[in-house]
């Protein structure tokens, strides 16, 4: 029997950093970043000038490519060519579009099948917005991470500056983008961002990745004891 751990929370709350650290500590677990999957779709739409107001255009486009997750990297595979888009999908304009396309049921359905199949055959720690409520409602452990919008904006700004040191990023604009993303995620009709009733909430304000992971380790060890 495989174990699944669901990590949910708003943008920048520390989901990916925590999940990656946990998977490094417990190499029997596979880390799945569902947000990166949506952002890869969004990036492909942007690069191919797909109008997200035109559902048929999107439906046709998603038949032309596939995505592959490999540890910390995500690839778009098209015409037998694989392109690593791990850094590019972290740009704010890609994240903003990802939140919008996540409202389309046909996109969520396509990714949902793949996400559940992975969890059926592996121990997984999977992060996203609706893992504990929709993707893996029967996950063994459910965690909901949270942090203030300012804290999350500071983290995102640092991350972007490391990826693209030649660019200048405005903290206030990043904070506004995050708050807009929160509103979109929490108010979409399909699979909105919300805490599962049986999830454990962890506020990550001021906490290091190590400290957060220590907390999740404790929760995981308590589960194993039971």
**Binding-site sequence positions for ATP:** 9-17
Quickly list H helices, 65-196.
92-101, 105-120, 149-163, 171-187
DSSP state of 138: T
**Binding-site sequence positions:** 9-17
Q: Which long-range contacts (CB under 8 A, 24 or more apart) does 20-29 make?
A: 20/72, 21/209, 21/210, 21/212, 21/213, 22/125, 22/213, 22/216, 22/217, 22/220, 23/125, 25/213, 25/217, 26/123, 26/220, 28/123, 29/3, 29/5, 29/122, 29/123, 29/124, 29/125
């Amino acid at each position: 029997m495989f174990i699944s751990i669901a990590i949910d929370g708003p943008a920048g709350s520390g989901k990916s950093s925590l999940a990656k650290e946990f998977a490094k500590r417990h190499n029997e677990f596979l880390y799945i970043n569902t947000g990166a999957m949506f952002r890869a779709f969004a990036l492909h739409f942007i690069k191919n000038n797909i109008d997200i107001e035109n559902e048929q255009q999107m439906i046709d486009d998603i038949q032309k490519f596939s995505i592959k997750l490999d540890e910390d990297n995500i690839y778009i595979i098209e015409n037998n060519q694989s392109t690593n888009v791990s850094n590019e999908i972290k740009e704010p304009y890609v994240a903003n579009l990802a939140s919008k396309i996540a409202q389309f049921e046909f996109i969520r359905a396509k990714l949902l099948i793949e996400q559940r199949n992975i969890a059926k055959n592996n121990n997984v720690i999977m992060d996203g917005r609706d893992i504990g409520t929709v993707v893996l409602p029967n996950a063994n452990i459910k965690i909901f991470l949270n942090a203030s919008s300012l804290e999350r904006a500071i983290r995102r700004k640092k991350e972007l500056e490391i990826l693209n040191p030649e660019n200048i990023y405005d903290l206030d604009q990043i904070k506004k983008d995050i708050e807009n993303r929160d509103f979109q995620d929490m108010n979409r009709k399909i699979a909105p961002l919300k805490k599962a009733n049986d999830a454990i909430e962890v506020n990550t304000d001021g906490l290091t990745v190590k400290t957060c992971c220590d907390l999740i380790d404790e929760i995981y060890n308590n589960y194993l004891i039971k």
